[in-house]
Amino acid sequence: MNIYNFNQKLNREHTSSVKWGLTKQIFGTDDVLPMWVADMDFSPPKEVKDALQERVDHGIYGYTFSPPSTTEAIQLWLNKRHAWKINHSWVLYSTGVVPSISIAIEAFTAPGDKVMLQSPVYTPFFEMIEKNNRQLVNTPLKLIDNRYEIDFTVFEDHLKDGVKLFLLCNPHNPSGRVWTKEELTRIGKLCHQYNCLILSDEIHSDLILKNKHIPIASLDETFKDITVTCIAPSKTFNLAGLQASAVIVPNKELRKAFKDVQERQGFFSLSAFGIIGTEAAYRSGEQWLEELLAYLRENVHTVKEYIDIHLPGISVMEPEGSYLIWLNCRELHLSDEELKDRLLKRGKLALEPGTKYGPGGEGFVRMNVACPKEVVLEGLERLKKAFQ
């Protein structure tokens, strides 16, 4: 029996919501249905809201520190959900995964050093490399039968050429690929062989719709020693506004280097609400998450079935993880500008353009289906209107 109601439509106006409040600024119009940025239109677990409310009711919001109980909650969660036993001392905190990526680039590389990614991929990967004055090295993913694969020949060639840090996205955003044990093992062995560190963004790791998420650092002692793993309750429980994430750094020297940069920036702890929300989510959110995953699977199925019937020119890359659907529109034979124009002017629908994710994203759009089914169906009708 389900406890949580994901069909409930919540009004997010006047909440400073990026997704709902910035459509005019980003898309040039507010007369669109926003299904773009990666947050959910679902209320988080009641246990989280209750814990936050209790903290609000206390009435004093002074300086905070991240208590051992929060780290313990993370340890228990990772062990139960991903069979990864971590040491208490490995856990650091950050306001988010993107700041952590920037800190890692500064801590582990020097200006001009090569930092590698695999496009199409999460936009801030590009931005953090370039804004930190590092040399961006791209190893594009191969699209084979509407599924992404890693080109390990090119991957190794770049490592031979002196890449210092590799940014891994697992599960992959925007496609939802969950990298397999074999793929991760090959990545880890090559990075270890060529003395390349790994920053693994695993923010979507709890949102697994099929297959199994494996933290790359959990696979081998040598991988653990070269890997920094970023996680957060933000995507899993829709808590991005609390600005809280964790960074798992088993290697003592890397951990010190990371902390040194944080201290130079003046970071010391999460906010009072970030601490409370993180701990409550990881301790009490599992039932909510299981019901969420079942709901997301139904939404993904709805999208695939609808598009297969009504829009045969679009191919759905069914996500193995996350609530994001990568739609291949290349068979429509429209330019990216035409895709955008049709979506906004005909369909009144705001989706993420594939070009935002770098080379290989051309001809794609990304749809966020973490919303009530009624909204998903409305979005699909708008998609049909745009391209029919």
Whether the predicted pLDDT of 1 surpasses 80: no
Confidence band of 163 (pLDDT split at 50, 70, 90): very high
pLDDT in tens, 2-41: 899 999 999 999 999 999 999 999 999 999 999 999 999 9
Q: Where are the alpha helices (DSSP H) in the chain?
A: 18-21, 23-27, 46-58, 68-82, 97-108, 123-131, 152-160, 181-193, 221-226, 233-237, 252-265, 272-284, 286-310, 336-341, 373-387
pLDDT over 70, % of the chain: 100
Asked if residue 156 has pLDDT above 90, the reply is yes
How far, in Å, CA of 22 to CA of 254, rounded? 38
Q: Helix, strand, coil: what percent of the chain each, to 5?
A: 50, 15, 35
Q: What are residue 335's phi and psi, to 5 degrees?
A: -70, 165
Q: How far apart are CA 383 and CA 350, in angstroms?
A: 10
Segment holding 136, helix H or strand E? strand 135-138
**CA nearest 288: which of 214, 238, 215?**
238
Rounded to whole angstroms, how far apart are CA atoms 118 and 155? 9
Question: What is the C-alpha radius of gyration for the chain, rounded to an integer number of angstroms?
Answer: 21
Give every CB contact of residue 50 below 8 A, 6+ residues apart in sequence.
280
Q: What angle do CA 127, 171, 209 make, to 5 degrees?
A: 140
- Residue 165 structure tokens: 């840090």
How is residue 59 written in tokens?
Answer: 């009435």
Please state the separation of Cα 138 from the chain's center in Å. 19
Task: Provide the token pair at 344.
Answer: 């906004």
What's the predicted TM-score (pTM) here?
0.97
pLDDT tens digits along 240-282: 999 999 999 999 999 999 999 999 999 999 999 999 999 999 9
pLDDT of 353 > 90? The answer is yes
Average pLDDT over residues 117-132: 98
Q: How many CB atoms lie within 10 A of CB 145?
A: 5
pLDDT, residue 67, reads: 96
- Long-range contacts of the stretch 4-13 (C-beta < 8 A, 24+): 4/45, 4/46, 4/287, 4/288, 4/291, 4/292, 6/42, 6/291, 6/292, 6/295, 6/372, 7/372, 7/373, 7/374, 8/43, 8/372, 9/41, 9/372, 9/374, 9/375, 10/41, 10/42, 10/43, 12/41
What structural domains does the chain harbor? 18-45+285-387 (3.90.1150.10), 60-284 (3.40.640.10)
Spatial separation of the C-alpha atoms in residues 279 and 268, rounded to whole Å: 18
**CB distance 91 to 247 below 8 Å:** yes
Tokens standing for residue 274: 């970030």
The per-residue pLDDT for 262 is 98
SS3 108: helix
Average pLDDT, the chain: 97
Helix (H) or strand (E) holding 59: none
What does the pLDDT read at residue 59?
96
pLDDT band of 52, cuts 50, 70, 90: very high
Mean pLDDT (whole number) for 153-178: 98
pLDDT category at 388 given cuts 50, 70, 90 is confident
Q: State the amino acid at position 88 in one-letter form.
A: H
**Mean pLDDT over residues 49-76, rounded?**
97
Note the pLDDT tens digit of each residue in 186-244. 999 999 999 999 999 999 999 999 999 999 999 999 999 999 999 999 999 999 999 99
User: If you count them, how many residues does the chain have?
Assistant: 388
φ/ψ of residue 184, rounded to 5: -65, -40
